Amino acid sequence: TIHLRVLESSPVGTAIGSVKATDADTGKNAEVEYRIIDGDGTDMFDIITEKDTQEGIITVKKPLDYESRRLYTLKVEAENTHVDPRFYYLGPFKDTTIVKISIEDVDEPPVFSRSSYLFEVHEDIEVGTIIGTVMARDPDSTSSPIRFSLDRHTDLDRIFNIHSGNGSLYTSKPLDRELSQWHNLTVIAAEINNPKEMTRVAVFVRILDVNDNAPQFAVFYDTFVCENARPGQLIQTISAVDKDDPLGGQKFFFSLAAVNPNFTVQDNEDNTARILTRKNGFNRHEISTYLLPVVISDNDYPIQSSTGTLTIRVCACDSQGNMQSCSAEALLLPAGLSTGALIAILLCIIILL
């Protein structure tokens, strides 16, 4: 019987020892082939015949685990590869031996229950709320206690924290999906008795949306109305944007903050609305600019709304509605004094001189 030892951490293919059968013959007649023919370790180990030394090299075939099994037994056979038929009656030309292999323990790092973790949490949870728990154990027979920690390089803003004893992750700052929808963290599990033995695992935290933002105008609108406008004329089409992302998609509603005698809003029911005139004609010399408050609401819960103000300038336009001038001051001189009047004033001044 041959006794061999091997560390449980030995990789597949590692040579752990050898066996050798002696043969009184020489040369070709002494060549031997080794094989494993029985035993409880036939799946875990293999044997290779080394032609130069005529030894059988036993190698690791599958990963070993001290905690699962600590002793294996192999039955190894050595047989001549070249036998003269004249001497068959002297056979068999083979022999067997028993090889016992002991597995030696190695301190292994902790093992997490999953290869990675995914936690989902709403952005409006209170600070200190537990969002999920990671689990790890020491695979060694001694079963050392585990201490958990966060790799701060993956959480520079210190938004999260972890209970070192039980692996529970919790928030240490308010969450905001509009700032960051995903957080990719790394949790470290280390043996308390041997902190050098540690394992890392990825933890993905997805922040779920809560309707906490009000819709607003999509862009700044430079709006004008012609002095010669008629009731019901379109002067502007407006749309809105919202930082939130509801599951059913965005749905906006437009209305006026109060009834306005000059303008009205018509919701197109496609997240846009039209601003229409309500009266016949405008005078920029009386009022050059109108302020129109428009209320924009969303369709999520709780409903959020905001008021955006459109600044509408009164402008002179041609018959096709093309803007020509919106400056009331520049038109005061031509409207009050004609060219003939200016010439008459100039002549009067000359006469007086």
Which of 335 and 299 is assigned the larger pLDDT? 299
What topology is assigned to 216-325 in CATH? Immunoglobulin-like (2.60.40)
Which of 141 and 28 is assigned the larger pLDDT? 28
pLDDT digits (tens, 9 = 90+) for 111-162: 999 999 999 999 999 999 999 999 999 888 777 899 999 999 999 999 999 9
Q: How many CB atoms lie within 10 A of CB 157?
A: 11
Secondary structure (DSSP) of 102-143: EEEP--PPPEESSSEEEEEEETTPPTT-EEEE--EE--STT-
Q: Do domains 2-104 and 216-325 have the same CATH topology?
A: yes
pLDDT digits (tens, 9 = 90+) for 181-220: 999 999 999 999 888 989 999 999 999 999 999 999 999 9
| Residue pointed to by tokens 């010399």 | 285
DSSP-based three-state secondary structure for 29: helix
- Of the chain, the end-to-end C-alpha distance in Å amounts to 141
**Superfamily covering domain 111-208:** Cadherins (2.60.40.60)
CATH class, domain 2-104, is mainly beta
118 burial (CB, 10 Å; 0-12 / 13-18 / 19+) is exposed
Task: Please tell me what DSSP assigns to residue 153.
Answer: G
CA–CA gap between residue 290 and residue 284 (Å, rounded): 10
pLDDT value of residue 107:
82
Every domain of the chain and the residues it spans: 2-104, 111-208, 216-325
pLDDT band at 337 (very low <50, low <70, confident <90, very high): low
Work out the percent of the chain whose per-residue pLDDT is above 90: 70
